[in-house]
Structure 1
Amino acid sequence: MKICIICSKFFPIVGGGETHIFQVAKGLSERDFKVTVVTNESSKAFPKDLPFDIKRIKGFNDEKINLNISAPQLYQALIDIDPQIIHIHNYEPYLIFNLFANSFKDKKVFLTIHNTPLFPKRVFGTFKNFEAEFAAARNAINIGSQKCIVVASEYYKNSIEKIAAISQNIEIIPYGVDFKLFEADLKSPLRKKFKLLKNDVLILCPSRIVVRKGIKEAVVSLSHLPKNYKLFLPASFEPKDVDYFKEIKILIIALKLQERVILADKQYTAFEMPYVYQASDIV
């Protein structure tokens, strides 16, 4: 059986949704499904030994969606792949898919929402206008051909029920964990790399550098803790919100925390994150 997973953000981005999609694609492929991930064009190289295919399309970035480019490329990708199942992740790709969804009525369509809503400010964040995002999300769900909407928690389920005007089939399936990545004898080199002392306490804030993740609040909180407490921000390398990151760096200097806040000097992939967690004391 052929499965097409559509997502505008994917590995090597390290985020909850992106890591989950990667693990689902990998797990299905290892169970003899033919999986193709259709995602945005990235300058980052993917590993060469992945068990599934990746199709990159242009103009498919959440922050800069270009319908003139991404819509025809997504349509053609689905024609070429000809999957039995189409699994779409997040509102932005679903908005584009709905432009030509009637052409794929014979497919089983599933929708998973990872976009974190924050009523009444945000539904998915791309439009930067809550009312417009709410209306677009409602329309996408109500006219959509999805057999089921899959979410990871009750919070996401409740948000979709608020958005949708029509009753939906919503399934809660929590994100899974690949326990092979977290072996008991895993040895992380990071505490040595960060020159931590034996009694140092490393706080990990693995979130992307965006306002709603509360990174500035974590920095301020650190200033109230003993000096042996350190904070590591693994997503601070090439951060998504550059202006917000500048504010964070200014705050770090103002609070004299340069020696206690550890910024990333590289991008940490999903494969490396277990070592990051192993080195940490508080997450």
Structure 2
Amino acid sequence: MKIAMVIPDFPPIMGGGEIFAYEIAKRLAEKHEIHVITRLPTKAHFNRNNTSYQKLLAYEFSENIHIHRVKFFDVKDIRLFSSIFPMYFKLLQVIKKYKIDLIHGVMIFPAAQICALAKIKTKNTFFLTLQGFIIDIVREDKTIFDLYLGLLKPLAKFGIKKADFVHCVSNNVMRKALEFYRTNKIKIIPNGVDTKLFSPDIKTNIRERFNIKKDEILVATVSRLAPKNGIEYLVKAAKQISQKQKNIKFLIVGGGPLKEKLKDLSSGFEKNIIFTGNIPHDETPKFLAASDIFVRPSITEGFGISFVEAMSCGLPIITTEAVGKLKILRDREHGFIIKSKNVDELVIALNKLIQNKSLRNEFGEKARKYAIKHYDWNIVVEEIEKEMLKLI
């Protein structure tokens, strides 16, 4: 099978969708011919994604994946729109040159629309993966929120309607997809994790690097520092706990638009609340393996690969109802699910785990077993491949 995957960004630009695309492409490439059509990121684009600049080629062959990168007009408010036609024409070239069997769009915008247009033109089979909805992202930027709100429904409906199969990573994503267009060609297949790489047994020097003692309890989050992830509530809870307990450290792993605001919020507690900045994704397992508790008090969430990565590392999880309704993890079996935007509940949940090592171990062991059984990338890819082959 020859597959052309379309996604706005691809590693080294990293996020949940990009991790999914890379892990799926890498594994499918063991048996199939995989082409990725994506944007050629500018320096400004690297900076926005808190990633060190790398000079990338328009075409490269890496890990058996053909990667085709296209230039786009990188201007605020229109950058997603400006990439549609360059990526569309590149996709048409790839389809014709390599005799593609199936096009795989990852993300509701602009990949869904690019693939839908290509299907109309070439009659190729179109498999769509939905990780979340752009509305949850642009809500953070009021200057473009109204514009996207007006365009989102018809564009999303167009992309979903033209797909031969719609793959959703969670029940929440599927519910939103069906609000745009009712289809029975839809299925939930979750995101995954490399359970060998994300393991509690890997060697790590993170505690030494950040001067965290062996007997100190380390609470970590791995997250983009954006409003939807609720990290300000973690910082507020961390301050309350740090006032009363001195053997606790909080590690905020990631970068984003709220970084400086959150650092200001933690003023006076710099020794207890540590900001690492953005890190390469391949270092994430070391940070998780060094930790005792994982927290991300999300306000909205499409799936959240960080949660299954933390579970795979054997960590108890504290998160919110926004994640709980996705059924990624189970309350009081893998950790605690609390109300969103509730610092008091977060403090209570943290204290329960901080004060009870056996409970941390119990939740963590169950979380690790659950991740191996349900979220290993090899299991996820097998399900996706099976659905793709049905369409050919």
- TM-score, normalised relative to structure 2: 0.61
1:19-58 map, 5 Å: 19-31=19-31, 33-42=32-41, 43=43, 44-45=53-54, 49-58=62-71
* Alignment correspondent of 1:251: 265
Q: Which residue of 2 aligns with 1:90?
A: 107
State yes or no: 1:187 paired with 2:203.
yes
Name which of 153, 174, 177 aligns with 1:160.
177
Q: Matches of 2:73 and 2:35 in 1, distance apart?
A: 16
| Structure 1 residues 61 and 217: alpha-carbon distance in aligned structure 2, compared to 1, 3 A threshold | farther
Partner of 1:279: 290
Indicate which of 94, 98, 121 corresponds to 1:103. Answer: 121
Please list every run of at least 4 consecutive aligned residues from structure 1 whose deviation after the TM superposition is greater than 6 angstroms.
Answer: 60-63
Distance in 2 between residues matched to 1:261 and 1:48, nearest whole Å: 41
1:114 alignment partner in structure 2: 131
Secondary structure in 1 matching 2:237: helix
Distance 2:130 2:74 in 1: 16
- Give the equivalent residue in structure 1 for 2:5: 5
Query: Whole-Å Cα distance in 2 between the matches of residues 60 and 85 of structure 1?
Result: 28
8 A Cα contact 2:218 2:251, kept in partner: yes
Q: Note the C-alpha offset of 1:60.
A: 7.5
TM-score by length of 1: 0.83
Distance 1:62 1:272 in 2: 31
Counterpart among 226, 236, 250 of residue 220 in structure 1: 236
Q: Offset at 1:197?
A: 0.8
Q: 1:36 to 1:91 in 2, by over 3 A?
A: same
8 Å CA contact 1:161, 1:167 repeated in 2: yes
CA displacement at 1:52 relative to structure 2: 1.0
User: Which amino acid is the alignment partner of residue 120 of structure 2?
Assistant: N
1:133 CA displacement: 4.9
Q: Distance in 1 between matches of 2:74 and 2:237?
A: 33
| Residue aligned with 1:218, SS | helix
Q: Distance in 1 between the 2:75 and 2:174 partners? A: 22
Partner deviation per Cα, 1:147-188 (whole Å, 9 max, x = no partner): 111011111111112222x33421110112222313554101
Question: Does structure 1 retain, via aligned residues, the 8 Å contact 2:103–2:115?
Answer: no
**Counterpart secondary structure, 1:202:** strand
Distance, in Å, in 2 between the alignment partners of 1:79 and 1:3 is: 13
- SS of the equivalent of 2:250 reads strand
Q: What amino acid does structure 1 have at the position aligned with 2:69?
A: R
Q: Is the 8 A contact 2:166 2:185 kept in 1?
A: yes
Is 2:207–2:214's contact at 8 Å kept on the other side of the alignment?
no
- Deviation of 1:28 after TM superposition, in Å, equals 0.6
Q: Name the Cα RMSD after superposition.
A: 2.7
Cα distance between partner residues in 2 of 1:151 and 1:233: 29
| Contact 1:4–1:38, Cα closer than 8 Å, also in 2 | yes
Counterpart residue type for residue 171 of structure 1: K
Task: Please tell me whether residue 59 in structure 1 is matched to residue 72 in structure 2.
Answer: yes
For structure 1, which segment, 223-232 or 83-92, has the greater mean C-alpha deviation from structure 2 after superposition?
223-232
Contact 1:67 1:96 in 2 (8 A): no
**The structure with more helix, counted as a fraction of residues:** 2
Deviation track 1:68-94 (CA, whole Å, cap 9, x = no partner) reads: 852332123212321211111112122
Describe the SS at the equivalent of 2:281: coil
Q: Is the 8 A contact 2:263 2:275 kept in 1?
A: no
Letter in 1 for 2:29: S
SS at match of 1:10: coil
- List alignment gaps of at least 5 residues for structure 2: 44-52, 295-392
Please state if 1:81 is matched with 2:94. yes
Q: In the alignment, is the contact (CA less than 8 A) between 2:221 and 2:253 conserved in 1?
A: yes
Paired residue for 1:261, among 252, 267, 273? 273
Change in CA separation of 1:186 and 1:63 when aligned onto 2, cut-off 3 Å: farther
Kindly, what percent of the aligned residue pairs are identical? 25
Alpha-carbon distance in structure 2 between the residues aligned to 1:92 and 1:177: 24
- Residue 209 of structure 1 aligns with which residue? 225
